[in-house]
């Protein structure tokens, strides 16, 4: 589940690119910016999950912008293990807090994140609009 996927559902393809393309670009930027903060899970030599991070060292906060586990491997603790790996990384950098977000439509995140010790601190509403002044139908 992603914001870009929601945008595509409402507006269709943007600039001829789908949400997967935009998500891959975002993850690539995170890998370029902080390769030491990206971790993967493998099973029998295949990638089954990943987590990316970014750090605001002066603020003492680590961020987890992307976490994904292959559908065939969900429910096995892989997501939680990736989160724990990211938290260990944050601690090694001397950070004091970690942030993660999820969409309201993501019950897995709403279940797993509190199990990993995260507490809800706020809810936010995101908006998007086409710049050609055309409003897509509901």
For residue 136, pLDDT over 90 is answered with no
pLDDT of amino acid 2 = 84
| Nearest partner of 73 among 44, 53, 100, judged by Cα | 44
CATH superfamily of 35-115: Gcn5-related N-acetyltransferase (GNAT) (3.40.630.30)
Q: What is the DSSP letter of 17?
A: B
Burial class (CB in 10 A: 0-12, 13-18, 19+), 89: buried
pTM over 0.85: yes
Please give the Cα distance from 125 to 40 (Å, whole number).
30
Strands, sheet with 61-69, edge to edge from the N-terminal-most edge strand: 39-43, 46-56, 61-69, 97-100
The full set of domain ranges for the chain reads: 35-115
What's the CA angle centered on 107, arms 67 and 36, to 5 degrees? 10
> Please, are residues 69 and 41 in contact by the beta-carbon 8 Å criterion?
yes
pLDDT in tens, 51-63: 999 999 999 999 9
pLDDT in tens, 17-65: 999 999 999 999 999 999 999 999 999 999 999 999 999 999 999 999 9
- Residues 108-123 have a mean pLDDT of 95
Q: What are the structure tokens assigned to 58, written together?
A: 């002066």
- Residues 7-13 have a mean pLDDT of 92
- Residues 77-90 have a mean pLDDT of 98
Q: What are the structure tokens assigned to 103, written together?
A: 């969409």
């Amino acid at each position: 589940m992603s914001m870009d996927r929601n945008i595509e559902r409402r507006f269709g393809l943007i600039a001829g690119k789908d949400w997967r393309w935009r998500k891959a670009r975002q993850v690539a930027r995170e890998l370029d910016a902080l390769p030491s903060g990206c971790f993967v899970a493998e099973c029998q030599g295949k990638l089954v999950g990943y987590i990316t991070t970014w750090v605001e060292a002066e603020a003492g906060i680590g961020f987890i912008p992307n976490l994904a586990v292959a559908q065939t491997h969900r429910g096995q603790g892989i997501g939680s293990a990736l989160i724990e790996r990211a938290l260990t990384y944050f601690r090694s950098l001397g950070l004091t807090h970690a942030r993660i977000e999820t969409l309201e439509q993501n019950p897995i995140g709403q279940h797993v994140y509190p199990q990993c010790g995260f507490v809800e601190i706020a809810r936010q509403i995101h908006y998007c609009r086409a710049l050609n002044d055309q409003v897509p139908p509901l």
